[in-house]
Structure 1
Amino acid sequence: MSTPAAPPPGFVDVHAHFVTDSYVRQARAAGHEFPDGVPAWPGWSAQAHLELMDRSGIATAVLSVSSPGVHFGDPAAARALARETNEEGARIVAEHPGRFGLFASLPLPDVDGALAEIAYAFDVLGADGVVLESNAHGVYLGDPRLEPVFAELNRRSAVVFLHPTSPVCWERSALGRPRPMVEFVFDTARTVTDLLFAGTLSRCPDLKVIVPHCGGALPVLADRINGFMRLFMPGDREAPDAVAQLRGLYYDLAGPAFPRQVPALLSLADPGRLLYGSDYCWTPAPAAEAHAASFDTEPAPVAGTTWRSLTTANAHALLPRLAG
């Protein structure tokens, strides 16, 4: 008798979001009634998320707070909200063993508050990494003021999940349209380029950085960025190979991955650096299910693998706690 085939591995979703009633209430009170120009806040519950995961063949989802983050202008309130959401995320992880992970929020641009929350998130809550918005009130991630934060994350060999948010110029650049459509992908490219020019990635080689949404605009801009860095690197520093540094990052596949985004990304990133992402709950459940199903109909870029087996193996290597 033949042995029954093993079921396909469940995805590890590194780009999954949660919201709480308290978080939404505080964000609305700070003026985010229509977050990033989106018409409404999504609802979220662990049960609904688990049901979506089971329908889509997602074994584990790493939760994070999306844009607009936790800092709405008051540093003390931002520290309190980061602590509140991180503790709630850790509680959800503990209540559903093996199903959820957590990328903790930091109250940037408050550096002292961020350093305190890094220690609490990793040492007390057991977070799997941190989420950093592409900018914090106009402070981009290569800003020298953030150097102590990156030094500490590098010391911990931390996983750093980048997430886009609205650029400071969105009132003019977005043309009245939802900022996630175009502004997010360019703000991702903007902040990664800032990290490259600032030398942060060179100084922090132990960071494990995840770039969202198939790299946003980076795959088509990589050679252009590389050329400009060679021409205009500030000071007397020798320009690093920007393409090589971009190849050293990880990339999640949230968003409309096929038919164009993934092929463009594969021109830049090694398949061993690709990770699955759903963007649920900001992506509604039907669209998230369709997104997951699309990977079962596309050939994987490595012979003998599927998108499920490839991205799951990559996630387990990056986040070994989730391998069980």
Structure 2
Amino acid sequence: MSESTRAMSRRGLLVAGGALATTVAATGESSALARGEAVPRGSRSGDGADRARIDVHHHFTAPTWVDWAEREGLVQRQELLWWARWDLDSTLALMDRAGIATAVLNPTMQDRYRTAAQAREGLTVVFEAMADLVAQHPGRFAVLAPAVLDHPEVTTWALRRAFDELGAVGVSVKANYNGVYLGDPSYDRFLAELDERAAVLFTHPLDLPGGTPGVPTVPGIPNFMCDFLLDTTRAAVNLIRTGTLDRYPHLSVILPHAGGFLPQIATRMEAFGGFCTPPLDAARVRDHLHRFYYDTAGPSAPSGTLVATAGADRILFGTDWPAASADIITDFTVPAIETDPVFTDRQRRGIHRDNALRLLPALRRAQGLSR
């Protein structure tokens, strides 16, 4: 079954939040974080002073890739859901409305290739599309390298091209492949390549292993409501259990959706970690919880638990566009940060921008900043 059908149940959220970003207009937002900030070059209109956020959770399905994939028989255009119908005009409108300076493009649907040769051809289409966007809209977009773990040699080639030719700021990978979660030894070759580059790994969940893609595990409850968060949580706990961040000390990992349930079960892990294999002591759990990064895509719950678990300097702004609609982003995701009393103004600026620039220095080049 196609990945486009896996998110079928998310349509309700889209409708509830407002489906069409093409109808939005820039709001001229002027939050404290934007005042005095270096202005990104390459703004579409105006002086860009109202755009300062960096979106690290932005799904990108290149229209040219859809054309290619349809010719190859990998997708059927009429079956694609909203999150796979990325277009430039609605994206720039959303970015302006939400005060986003730069979106980090995370290529979707890159696990459909039948052969290594087809994977290389499809990735070439994706890379060309991302390169064109970066060139045509300076400062507005940065790119992630997609991992195609079913084809290790292609992944090595893709990493080389993405980092060395396109200036990728990180790598995208799913929380699990065929039920095998990040942290398993089968990922070692891939993670060793990333560690050599001191790369940042962006994870993302899907349906839980063992279920039917696109079919709710619990009737009436879309899988993205709970199962996606558990998928992320399983990957994070497995990374802690296997000591992956110790074995690859130059690797950084971003957990989406505020880390799934990880912050909420932090104390539980400290108390019951001894039942894992190998056993986890409380100090090790606390240390690793502070070594992940967490994005705000969701929207997430009030942030006190996450700040207490990881620290505000480990939180990054993310939207989940276009899976999350423009109205969800502007009515829930952005206000959740702006109005949450747990954050100081300095911490808000860090979440919106400075934490990402510190973690991903290549973003400074993407934004045309010299400092």
1:242 aligns with 2:285: yes
Show structure 2 runs of 5+ residues with no match: 1-34, 37-48
Residue 224 of structure 2 aligns to a residue in which SS? coil
Q: CA 1:33 to 1:51, structure 2 compared with 1: closer, same or farther past 3 Å? A: closer
Cα distance change on mapping 1:230 and 1:314 into 2, 3 Å? same
Deviation at residue 243 of structure 1 after TM alignment: 2.3
In the TM superposition, what is the alpha-carbon distance from 1:8 to its structure 2 partner? 6.3
**Equivalent position of 1:215 in the other structure:** 259
Match of 1:188 in 2: 232
Answer whether contact 1:166 1:187 (CA < 8 A) is retained: yes
Please tell me the residue identity of whatever aligns with 1:51.
A
How far apart are the structure 1 equivalents of 2:217 and 2:131? 35
Listed as ranges, the matches of 1:228-267 within 5 Å are: 228-234=272-278, 241-257=284-300, 260-267=301-308
Give the Cα separation in 1 of the matches to 2:75 and 2:173: 21
Aligned-residue offset at 1:266 = 1.6
For residue 240 of structure 1, report the CA deviation from its aligned partner.
Answer: 6.9
How far apart, CA to CA, are the structure 1 residues paired with 2:77 and 2:305? 35
Alignment-derived partner of residue 127 in structure 2: 86
1:140-289, aligned counterparts within 5 Å? 140-171=181-212, 174-176=217-219, 177-234=221-278, 241-257=284-300, 260-289=301-330
Compared CA separation, residues 180 and 86, structure 1 to 2 (3 A): farther
Secondary structure of the residue aligned to 1:255 is coil
2: CA distance, partners of 1:32 / 1:247: 43
CA distance 1:79–1:135, change in 2 (3 Å): farther
Whether the 8 Å contact between 1:253 and 1:275 is mirrored in structure 2 is: yes
- Equivalent AA in structure 1 for residue 308 of structure 2: S
Give the conservation status (yes or no) of the 8 Å contact 1:212–1:252. yes
Q: Determine if contact 1:274/1:314 at 8 Å carries over to the other structure.
A: yes
Q: CA deviation at 1:302?
A: 5.1
Instruction: Evaluate the alpha carbon distance shift between residue 166 and residue 229 of structure 1 in structure 2; reply closer, same or farther with a 3 A threshold.
Output: same
C-alpha deviation, 1:11, in angstroms: 0.7
Provide the C-alpha distance between the structure 2 equivalents of 1:318 and 1:49, rounded to a whole number of angstroms: 24
Instruction: Let me know the Cα RMSD of the aligned residues.
Output: 2.9
Matches within 5 A, 1:25-174: 26=69, 29-30=73-74, 40-66=82-108, 69-72=109-112, 74-76=114-116, 77-171=118-212, 174=217
Alignment correspondent of 1:12: 54
User: Is the 2:201–2:251 Cα contact (8 Å) retained in structure 1?
Assistant: yes
- Calculate the TM-score normalised by the size of structure 2: 0.75
**Structure 1 gap ranges (5+):** none
Distance 1:170 1:263 in 2: 33
Instruction: Give SS of 2:138's match.
Output: coil
Aligned pair count reads 313
CA drift at 1:223 = 2.8
| 1:184 alignment partner, SS class | helix
Structure 2 CA distance for partners of 1:135 and 1:29, relative to 1, 3 Å: farther
Letter in 2 for 1:182: C
- 1:235-283, CA deviations, whole angstroms, 9 ceiling, x for partnerless residues? 9x989702211211111001122xx342231221111111100111111
Deviates more, 1:105-114 or 1:244-253: 105-114
CA distance in 1, matches of 2:120, 2:166: 16
Q: Which moved more, 1:106-115 or 1:207-216?
A: 106-115
Q: Aligned-pair distance for 1:72?
A: 2.3
